[in-house]
């Protein structure tokens, strides 16, 4: 059983399109996150949700809109895709406090052409 | 501002040699500390973590890390590297904000 699963694994799309990435965790964790890994491998948090409530929004363009229908799911919708959005997007989850660690999904490689 | 520094962008070692990857964090409070590994095209796998207690922590795959408060460091070590250890290694810290802050990563290359 995959703990944190993301779909799709690869996404190639044209500039200007709108796309979504889905994430689900079956660990019973309360908090979920989206991270972006750029071409230089740098990982930066975008959003975090705790039990469906937005907790962290790290100066991400408002073209990016996370949605959490329940605490096991956190989806990322991106409007009007730009070339600079090309990256690997990782979903992660954790319990309420950091000492339990964070579990990451396998990533979604988004390529905007 | 909270930050994590991994001074070595790229390290090359021979198989069987020992390894130490450096990590320093800023900020006064003791954070929760993590090391993750990312193999090419893969996700992030937790190697080990520290949040209190014994400052030398053991992880998976034969890795260990030592927390040194006086140096604000959490260096990762392995006594004998295997070719399969070639990957990108990330040090990360978290405080009570639940936000995991990553270093820039160290790419490990292993020669036979």
Given this model, what pLDDT does residue B95 score? 78
- Reading the block at residue B1, the tokens are 């501002």
Is residue B90 less than 8 Å (CB to CB) from chain A? yes
Given this model, what pLDDT does residue B98 score? 66
- Of A19-33, A58-72, B10-24, B91-105, the poorest mean pLDDT is in B91-105
Q: Which residues touch A62 (CB under 8 Å, ≥6 apart)?
A: none
Q: Which chain A residues have any C-beta within 8 angstroms of a chain B C-beta?
A: 31, 33, 35, 40-45, 48, 50, 55-56, 90, 92, 94, 96-99, 101-107
Task: Give the CA distances from residue B37 to residues A34, A80, B33, B41, B92, in Å, rounded to whole numbers and listed in that order.
Answer: 18, 33, 14, 12, 11
User: A98 and B94 in contact by Cβ < 8 A?
Assistant: yes
**Residue-wise pLDDT tens for chain A (113 aa)?**
669 999 999 999 999 999 999 999 999 998 999 999 999 889 999 998 888 888 888 878 999 999 999 989 999 999 999 999 999 999 999 887 666 778 999 999 999 99
Nearest CA among A104, A84, A85 for reference residue A94: A104
Is residue B27 less than 8 Å (CB to CB) from chain A? no
Share of chain B above pLDDT 90, in %: 73
Asked if residue B72 lies in contact with residue B87, where contact means CB atoms within 8 angstroms, the answer is: no
Is residue B97 less than 8 Å (CB to CB) from chain A? yes
């Amino acid at each position: 059983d995959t703990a944190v699963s993301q779909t799709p694994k690869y996404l190639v799309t044209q500039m200007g399109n709108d796309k979504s990435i889905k994430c689900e965790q079956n660990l019973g964790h309360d908090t979920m996150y989206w991270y972006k890994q750029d071409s230089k491998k740098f990982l930066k948090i975008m959003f975090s949700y705790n039990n469906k409530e937005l907790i962290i929004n790290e100066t991400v363009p408002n073209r990016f809109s996370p949605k959490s229908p329940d605490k096991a799911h956190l989806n990322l919708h991106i409007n009007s895709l730009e070339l600079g959005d090309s990256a690997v997007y990782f979903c992660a989850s954790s319990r309420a406090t950091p000492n339990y660690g964070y579990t990451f999904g396998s990533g979604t490689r988004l390529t905007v052409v | 501002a909270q930050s994590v520094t991994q001074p070595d962008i790229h390290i090359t070692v021979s198989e069987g040699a020992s390894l130490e990857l450096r990590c320093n964090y800023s900020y006064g409070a003791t954070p929760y500390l993590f090391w993750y590994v990312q193999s090419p095209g893969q996700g992030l796998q937790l190697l080990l973590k520290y949040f209190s207690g014994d400052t030398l922590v053991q992880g998976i795959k034969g890795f260990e890390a030592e927390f040194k408060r006086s140096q604000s460091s959490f260096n990762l070590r392995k006594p004998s590297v295997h070719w399969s250890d070639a990957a990108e290694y990330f040090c990360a810290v978290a405080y009570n904000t639940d936000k995991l802050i990553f270093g820039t990563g160290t790419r490990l290359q292993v020669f036979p």
